[in-house]
Amino acid sequence: MSLRSGLREPQRKSLCNSVPSLCVSVVKILSNIKSKFVEIKDMSTSTIDQEMNEYFIQLNEAEKKSVVQMIKTFLQSRKESERISLEQYNKEIEEAEAEIERGESYSHEEVVKMSNQWIHGK
């Protein structure tokens, strides 16, 4: 608890008036601790992290949301690209073959037609 937050205003004024050197010393000590903490924090933060933070704080809210979503997408794709077991691979192949047998697929011609509709709106 800091001196400032632990005392009510009249108590703080009274203490600082009666022992001003104590208040000055406490402020100096707290400032020194804060500067040392900032130095330690800066030393443990990589240059790229600092640079990212410097740019990020300059963005508006909409831009920040876009960047956060982009980072989430990167992390999600990393999870999705992890290797799967041979058993999982074979299971997925069997499921895909079953979908094809049930007619839950598109022919090459159908895919070309759909992509043309997306591209040209026809």
- The secondary structure of 44-83 as a DSSP string is HS-HHHHHHHHHHTTS-HHHHHHHHHHHHHHHHHHHHTS-
Would you place residue 67 in the very low, low, confident or very high pLDDT band (cuts 50, 70, 90)?
A: confident
Tokens read off for 109: 């011609």
List, for residues 2-45, the tens digit of each pLDDT value.
Answer: 444 454 555 445 545 555 555 566 666 766 676 666 555 555 56
Phi, psi for residue 58 in degrees, rounded to 5: -85, -10
What residue segments make up the domains of the chain, in order of their start?
1-44
Q: Which of 31, 15, 34 is nearest to 23 (CA)?
A: 15
- Residue 104's alpha-carbon distances to 40, 65, 101, 107, 115, in angstroms, are 59, 37, 7, 10, 18
pLDDT digits (tens, 9 = 90+) for 77-90: 877 667 788 998 99
